Amino acid sequence: MSPLTTHLRVPGPTPLPDRVREAGSWQMVNHRGPEFKALLERVTQGLKRAFRTENDLVILTASGTGGLEAAVVNHLSPGDPVLSTSIGAFGDRFGAIATRYGADVTKVEVEWGRAADPADVEAALGRMIEAGRAPRAVLLTHNETSTGVTNPIQALAETARRAAPDALLIVDGISGLGAVPFEADAWGLDVVVTGSQKSWMVPPGLAMVSVSGRAWQAAERATMPRFYFDLASHQKAMVKGETPWTPAVGVCFALDVALELLEAEGYERIFARHAAVGAATRAGIKALGFELFADPPVASNTVTAARVPPDMDWAAFNRALRGRGLVLAGGQGKLTGQIFRVGHLGAVSVNEILAALEILEETAIEFGRPQERGRALVAAVSAADSAATSDKENTVEATAPVGSAA
Ligand SMILES: Cc1ncc(COP(=O)(O)O)c(C=O)c1O
C-alpha cells in the first residue's frame, strides 16, 4: 500500500494538505536573513490570532513535550507548590515534568474518560492554601488525547483564578487548539502550549507557547534550570525576527502556508467542521457496536476513543485495518490494549471519516462481527448533519478543509 493512499487517522501527526507538503520541501533560507524574519513575524501573528491572545508567543523547535517542559522550567522554582490536574496520560506527563524539576506537585486525579470538575480543583486549591502551600501554578490539559476528552478549560480557569489568584494558569493546548474554540486571553490563561503536528496540519517539529505578562514576571524569579528552552532568550531573539538557535526552517515554511489555509477557511468554519467530524466518528463507531470511552458531554471533537471488546484480538484486527490502509492509534499508559483511538483533527473532512468507517465496517464483518452494511455510514452522516444544523453552510459536502486533497 502506498503511503499516499493510507488513511492516517491517528491524533497527530495529521495528514498534510498538498501545499503544506510542498512548502516543507522548499530550498533553505538564511534563518538570520530578511525572508525568515518576515516569515517569523507572519506566523507569530497568525498563531496569536488562533490562540486569541495579545500575549507574547514564541516558537520552539521541539515537539509538544518540549513546549510543556519550557512552560514548567521557565515559571517555577524547585519546591514550588503546583496543582496538576490530570485526566489522562498527557496530564500525568505534564505533572511528571514538574515533579522531575523539583516542584512540589499535588495531583487532582480524575477517572480516565471524564473531564476535570471545577469543584474538585477548587477544593484541592483550598486545601493547598490552608496547608500553607499556596500554588504557584495550576497545570491543565485542554484536550486529553489519550482518552478523547475535552476539559471545560474556561470554567476550570475561572475557578482556579478565583480560588488561587496568584497561581499561573498553564495549559497544554496541544491537541485541541486550532480545532475547537479556544480563548487564551478571555479565559485568563497565562501560558498555553501547542504543537505543529496536530490541528495545524504541519509536520512535527515546532512547539508554540504563549506567555502572559504575569508569566514573564514569574519567569524572572523562577530558578529551575533552563538553556535551550529559556523563553526569555527566545523572546529577545523574536523581537529581532530571529530564534536564538537554528529553527526547523522547513517546518516553519509549512506552518506559514498552513496558517494561510486555516485563515482562508476561517476558524468558525474549522470549529464547525471538527464538530461535524467528531459527531460522525462517534456515531459511526457506536453503530459498529463499539463502546465509546469518553463521557459523552465532554467527548473530544479531535480524537475519539473506543473500548476494544473483550472478545476481540485487537492486534489481529488492527493488522487487518492496516492492510486496508486505515491507521489508527492504540491506547496509552494504563489503557494500552484496552482502547483504540481515531484522530480527526486538522485537514479532515466528513467524507474521510466515512471512508475510515467503511474500512472499520468491512473489517468487523471479516472478523465475524455481524453488521448491517452501511449502518455506520448512515449514522455518521446523520450525526454530522445534526452537528451542522447550527451552521447551515456546514453540510457534509461543505466540510472538506481548504487545501485538502479530499
Ligand atoms: C495533549 C497532548 N499533550 C502532549 C503531547 C505530547 O506532544 P509530543 O508528542 O509532540 O511531544 C501530546 C501528543 O500527542 C498531546 O496530545
Percent of the chain with pLDDT over 70: 95
* Rounded CA separation 341/112 (Å): 14
| Mean pLDDT in order along the chain per 10 residues (406 residues) | 73 98 98 98 98 98 98 98 98 98 97 98 98 98 98 98 98 98 98 98 98 98 98 97 98 98 98 98 97 98 97 95 97 94 98 97 91 92 88 44 48
Contacts of 6 (CB under 8 A, 6+ apart): 325, 326, 327
Distance 64 CA to ligand 1 centre (A): 5
In whole numbers, what is the pLDDT of the chain averaged over residues?
94
Ligand 1 atom index nearest CA of 67: 11
Pocket of ligand 1 (CB under 6 A): 12, 63-65, 90, 141, 143, 145, 172, 174-175, 195
Atom of ligand 1 nearest to the CA of 90: 3
pLDDT in tens, 286-326: 999 999 999 999 999 999 999 999 999 999 999 999 999 99
User: Strand, helix or coil at 113?
Assistant: coil
Q: Please give the model's pTM, rounded to 2 decimal places.
A: 0.95
Could you say which architecture CATH assigns to the domain 18-262? 3-Layer(aba) Sandwich (3.40)
Contact status, residue 315 vs residue 130, Cβ threshold 8 Å: no
63 C-alpha to center of ligand 1: Å?
A: 8
The candidate with the shortest Cα–Cα distance to 16, out of 324, 267, 261, is: 261
* Separation of CA 174 and ligand 1 centre (Å): 6
Residue ranges, comma separated, of all CATH 3.40.640.10 domains in the chain are 18-262
Residue 266 CA from chain centroid, whole number:
18
Q: Where in the chain is the domain with CATH 3.90.1150.10?
A: 3-13+266-399
Candidate of 175, 200, 202 to mutate for ligand 1, largest count of ligand atoms within 8 Å of Cβ: 175
Architecture per CATH, 3-13+266-399: Alpha-Beta Complex (3.90)
Q: For residue 269, what is its C-alpha cell?
A: 468554519
